[in-house]
Amino acid sequence: MQSFDWEPDQMPDQHGRTVVVTGATGGLGLAVATRLAAAGARVVAGVRDLDKAARVLPSGLEARLVDTASVASVTAFARHLAEDGIVVDALVNNAGVSAPAFALGVDGVERTWATNVVGPAALADAMLPVLGGPSPRVVLVGSNFSQRTSRVPDLDAVGDAAAYRQLPVYVASKTAAAALAVDLGERLRASGSPVRSVIAHPGVAATGMNGQTETLRARLGGAVARLFARTPDDGARSILWAATAPDVEEGSFVGPGLSRSDRRLHVVPVRGAAADPAFRSRVRTSVEQAVDRTRA
């Protein structure tokens, strides 16, 4: 494990770089987008609500409509970037959700899975033609849950309303997303692409995600967690490092330790189900099938 001190004021100058950040109107996404823009980057904020973006985004950030729960939306988002001749140095796949109850998204996929797994994977693939510059990369905002659970997600249960439980489904979605990030990196290496795939987790961060709970007990647990959690600015550090550091290695999994007093970032190997090639293959097949159904 590699551990080191790093703060956002150590970020290289970002003038001349373009970074896309999804879910940029609050929490980690807003913190990341704001810091990148302050360092000189052109930030394209991928958002679901342009009115909200106009209210909360700092002046100078460009907001474009994208819903990561919709394959059509992420495909159109990437296509419009290409049509406008925009070369993107980094994609930060940050948008995520933890749905309190079972619901289907616009593509007929369970909403947490659609937003956290299918959409980000489809967006990363669709944006590969516009990723460029001297050090292009895709940064998935992951979760340490995927590293700390030994449970292998049951892909056949994704659409089972009766089996839906908020936290297990969220953990399964982040595990599958990590598996897809590793799979993407392997495919990029095999093709000789310079694009790197990296996973950054924020630790336990106090964001709106803590309030997306289905029961009073869970909401109280989220409130307690926020008391001991990192602020969005603190949680954003690992994401900023992954998006900007020139020496980021492909396949890195980076984030803070459990203790809020530990300011170091730690780079570790991907663990759990995401490290299993067979599971990665099953997730890739599942996502490809979901994407194909939207285009049938």
Secondary structure of residue 12 in the 3-state scheme: coil
Give the other-Cβ count within 10 Å of 128's Cβ: 19
Exposure on the CB side of residue 75, measured as CA atoms within 13 A: 8
Rounded CA gap, 198 and 205, in Å? Answer: 19
Reply yes or no on whether 170 is catalytic: yes
CA-based torsion, 280, 281, 287, 291: positive or negative: positive
d(CA 229, CA 29): 17
Q: What are the CA-CA distances from residue 221 to residues 18, 149, 211, 224 (Å)? A: 38, 20, 9, 5
Contact 253, 269 (CB under 8 A): yes
Select which of 170, 241, 253, 279 is catalytic.
Answer: 170
Q: What are phi and psi of 77, to 5 degrees?
A: -60, -50
Contacts within 8 Å (CB) and 24+ apart, 55-64: 56/25, 56/26, 56/30, 57/24, 57/25, 57/30, 57/33, 58/33, 58/34, 61/24, 61/33, 61/34, 61/37, 63/24
At 284, the amino acid letter reads R
Phi first, then psi, for residue 213 (nearest 5°) are: -125, 155
Name the nearest CA neighbour of 87 among 37, 48, 44.
44
Distance CA 222, CA 259 (A): 17
Residues with a known catalytic role: 170
